[in-house]
Structure 1
Amino acid sequence: MTTDRHGHVMSDTSSEALGHYEQALDDLLFFRPRVVDSARAVLADSPRSVMGRALAAYLGVLGTEEKDAAEARTAFHGFLADLDEGKLTPRERMHLAAATTWLDGDLHGAGRILGDLTVAFPRDVLALIAGHQHDFLTGDAQRLRDRVGGALDAWDTHDPHHGPLLGMYAFGLEESGHYERAEETGLAALAQHPNDVWGIHGVAHTYEMRGRFTDGIRFLDDRTGDWSGDTLLTVHNWWHYALFTLETGNTARVLEIYDAALHREGSPGAAMELLDAAALLWRLHLAGDDQGTRWARLADAWERRADGPHYAFNDAHAVMAYVGADRIDRAERLVKDRENWVTSAPVVSNRWMTAEIGLPVCRALIAYGRHDHAAAVEHLLPVRHRLNDFGGSHAQRDAIQRTLVEAALHAGRTDLARTLLSERANLRPVCPYNWSAKARLADLLGDPAGATAARRRATDQATA
């Protein structure tokens, strides 16, 4: 009987297929594009491999691509049709249950099953990374931290996958607010594997959340060769580089990064890459820097996707692109489609995520684009403390939080703007955006001395 290197039985999996499976896990942990080929190789050799099928199912959903998920669902249900689950191990049955639940749209149910899997089998790499990415997609910071943290003691520190687990744990720590511990853990991961792009990503997040943007630029510069090659995370790490650069006020360099790495002619049009592009341009839009040509190309890319209601977080960024390109009618059609869908959709996670968070955010973005800033405030204010429920990281969701700040300022809601900026500046005192926004608030309040002091602080931070 075939077992993986951690002693887990692999039903209907040959020794050769097992080698491909282990390679696929390694590729997945290090975000190598060839993970798709490695996973296919498992099933080419052993079409009935249970774990090979589970791996293929997870790959179909991790990218939030509607078409990939549909194809994976069809293939997986075909595999299950004549499967005798009584012959499988408990671990394999749990994976089948988690994959089925996720493919059928119950993200949160799948996350709970994957959590039970990790408790029972803490050295199951596939359960850990699928669960970790699930927690990111559902914005569950505590599980993002504790799912991996709860398994770490079962791992030998010399195991080649211990480093990537530390990188995952670093991101969970950061999203939970443990920034120094997250940085320490992420650097420990990179000491084991300098090319751990998820570990690099986790450390970059710690600099973002603490306003250490010059340290972030230096960190990414020093490791350019480790993260800027052909990986599934390259575009996203360039997005982090662009955020750091934006804080310095060097918009020209930000746009160079956008054109070279985030969205350009020949970009594949993957949802997660378009999402990063929209989130960056939206920050410029909020600052009054409208990039009409870039918005038009990005909106075209979103339109070509013709996405249905699959993942509310993606919908919000598509609406950013449509609003930025002055295609308000297209944004409104997307909202109308989602409104119709939630009235009759099956009980899936995205139905709740869309109805409760996605639609209010999309309506707020449209209102902002129409310069109806009071309406934007009214849509965003009730959900601002629940934005994590439709996925993403703190850094990603900050584009929406800044929209609320800007809408409050433009609407003359000075009491609200003062509260929001007090929250932001006390949480992140080093952030030029926070202080420049405080300067504009002081202008509205007739406080020229306060405005001057805040602008000076913003400038000093940006040029430090």
Structure 2
Amino acid sequence: MPLEDRYGLPLSTSSDEAASAYREGIDLMLSGWTGTAETLERAIAADPGFALAHIARGRVHAFYQQGDLARQKAALARELVARRGTERERSHVETLALAIEGRLPEAIATMLKHVDAWPRDAVVLSLPLGAFGLFAFSGMADHDRARHQLCERVARHYGEDWWFLTMSGWAMTENGDVARGRAVTERGFNLRRTNAHAAHAVLHAMFEDGSIEEADRLVDDWILSYDRAGILHGHILWHQALGALEHGDAARALKIYADVLQPSATQAPPLNVVTDGASLLWRLSAYGHAVPRALWLEADTAAQKLFPKSSLPFADVHMALFAAATQNNEALAARLAVIEQRLAEGKLPAGPVVPAICRALAAFADEDYAACVQMLAPVLGEVVRIGGSHAQRELIEDTFIVALMCSGDVPRARTLLDARLHRRPSLRDTRWQATMA
């Protein structure tokens, strides 16, 4: 009888040890838990010819922007699966390899065909899901809906699976069905509490429904069980810092930054290092709180090493925050030139919203609030194209609201804030007090 993964799909290995370590490693990866890389290495050691273990290890390398190692693993997995692998495994390896190589349109097309044929292949299904998934970074304006629809299509194949409930619930939340999304996500979380993606998804639901105090308690209680090396450790505390800001507690937000988000303290993947740090410091400044310039300069130095060239629009927007805040006009101009060139060549799926945001952020930092409003107003509905979650993208709307206030259009700013409170009726938001004053 062939060995199988946890979802009942055959594995092309005769090693019980390799199969067991692979199943454990995949569960750790799907839950964002520590020990993933080490466990997959055990599977590889037990059966060096096991292609799925190699491609999974490559995906973990990719999480941490270890591009050369990830591509090497992808190439090796392709060779191995051609010699010893089923049709499903060959498609699995190819789909993950395309994602690792950054070939997003091909990866999405291959992923959709694969999921149609093997809907219970959770590793492949995980690729388009989440705020940093293939759909989110595709430039699609409807990627939140696309994730939700994909999950709905395959839901009957998963039942009460802890991983699927987590991700499908989060997809519901991001697509606007917050109450249902939170309930589904919490079901998954209760089935496996050692699941950072579930804790994270619940926090997103709490953000959307305004349950800030409840989210704060969740982080305080749950984070004790999660190692600082966990892939989402810093980001989960970033959510807590957002809650502190919504109550005007800048000191607590800055303490969280110093403890887990500052480049010298964090163990997060590069994309989170850049985006979490930049967005929190920018929010602090925008809401009228003092941010020591040294914090910006230190974080910018680290960010420039991690993302020296234009890459993902989501990263580019956050690099623009650094350039604007540090008045590094040369760096911003160089990045914008590349972005504009890619746009002109039709190689920027997210479209003109990316350079518009970057320019608006620079105008905001220069205190040219009227120009910021003028640049952002036409593209606010397109901000979703840069990817990330709604909680992350709200930074752009917040910048727009503050720019309206500072340019004298307080009634329009109040209209936007009233709409937010209508969406999030439990929210008691005091972050604007300094700015409004």
TM-score (norm 2): 0.87
Quick one: which amino acid aligns to residue 297 of structure 1?
Answer: E
Quick one: which amino acid aligns to residue 144 of structure 2?
Answer: A
SS of the aligned residue for 1:386 comes to helix
Query: Counterparts of 2:214 and 2:31 in 1: how far apart (Å)?
Result: 24
More deviation in 412-421 or 104-113? 412-421
2:359 pairs with 1:363: yes
2:329 pairs with 1:332: no
2:173 pairs with 1:147: no
Quick one: which amino acid aligns to residue 320 of structure 1?
Answer: L
Query: Counterparts of 1:13 and 1:343 in 2: how far apart (Å)?
Result: 52
More deviation in 322-331 or 202-211? 322-331
1:461 corresponds to: none
Query: Counterparts of 1:72 and 1:190 in 2: how far apart (Å)?
Result: 30
- The answer (yes or no) to whether the contact 2:170–2:204 under 8 Å persists in 1 is yes
1:118 corresponds to: 115
2:285 pairs with 1:282: no
2:232 pairs with 1:233: yes
Q: How does 1:173-188 map to 2 (within 5 A)?
A: 173-188=172-187
Corresponding residue pairs, total: 428
- The answer (yes or no) to whether the contact 2:246–2:431 under 8 Å persists in 1 is no
Query: Counterparts of 1:82 and 1:163 in 2: how far apart (Å)?
Result: 31
Task: Find 1:389's aligned residue among 375, 385, 388.
Answer: 385
Deviation at 1:375, TM superposition (A): 2.5
Task: Find 1:76's aligned residue among 74, 77, 84.
Answer: 74
Q: Which runs of 5+ in 2 are unaligned?
A: none
Q: How does 1:70-219 map to 2 (within 5 A)?
A: 70-77=68-75, 79-80=77-78, 84=82, 88-133=85-130, 134=133, 135-138=135-138, 140-155=143-158, 157=160, 162-219=161-218
Q: Output one character per residue of 1:53-90: Cα deviation in whole Å (capped at 9) or x when no partner.
A: 43234334445x3xx234423442355468647x7433
- The answer (yes or no) to whether the contact 1:425–1:435 under 8 Å persists in 2 is no
Deviation at 1:114, TM superposition (A): 2.1
Deviation at 1:393, TM superposition (A): 0.5
More deviation in 238-247 or 218-227? 218-227
2:315 pairs with 1:317: no
Q: Output one character per residue of 1:195-247: Cα deviation in whole Å (capped at 9) or x when no partner.
A: 22211111111121122211221232333434465421111110111111111
2:401 corresponds to: 405
- The answer (yes or no) to whether the contact 1:189–1:196 under 8 Å persists in 2 is no
Quick one: which amino acid aligns to residue 372 of structure 2?
Answer: A
Query: Counterparts of 1:431 and 1:332 in 2: how far apart (Å)?
Result: 38
1:50 to 1:213, Cα distance in 2 relative to 1, 3 A? same
- The answer (yes or no) to whether the contact 2:229–2:267 under 8 Å persists in 1 is no
Deviation at 1:284, TM superposition (A): 0.9
Quick one: which amino acid aligns to residue 144 of structure 1?
Answer: R
1:402 to 1:204, Cα distance in 2 relative to 1, 3 A? same
1:184 to 1:226, Cα distance in 2 relative to 1, 3 A? farther
- The answer (yes or no) to whether the contact 2:206–2:215 under 8 Å persists in 1 is yes
Query: Alignment RMSD, CA only?
Result: 3.0
1:81 to 1:219, Cα distance in 2 relative to 1, 3 A? closer
Quick one: which amino acid aligns to residue 370 of structure 1?
Answer: D
% identity of equivalent residues: 23
Task: Give the structure, 1 or 2, with the largest relative contact order (CA under 8 Å, sep 6 or more).
Answer: 2
Query: Counterparts of 2:188 and 2:137 in 1: how far apart (Å)?
Result: 22
SS of the aligned residue for 1:150 comes to helix
1:458 corresponds to: none
Query: Counterparts of 1:78 and 1:425 in 2: how far apart (Å)?
Result: 52
1:121 to 1:201, Cα distance in 2 relative to 1, 3 A? same
SS of the aligned residue for 2:219 comes to helix
1:154 to 1:15, Cα distance in 2 relative to 1, 3 A? same
Query: Counterparts of 1:439 and 1:309 in 2: how far apart (Å)?
Result: 32
Query: Counterparts of 1:264 and 1:81 in 2: how far apart (Å)?
Result: 38
Quick one: which amino acid aligns to residue 76 of structure 1?
Answer: A
Deviation at 1:302, TM superposition (A): 0.8
SS of the aligned residue for 1:225 comes to helix
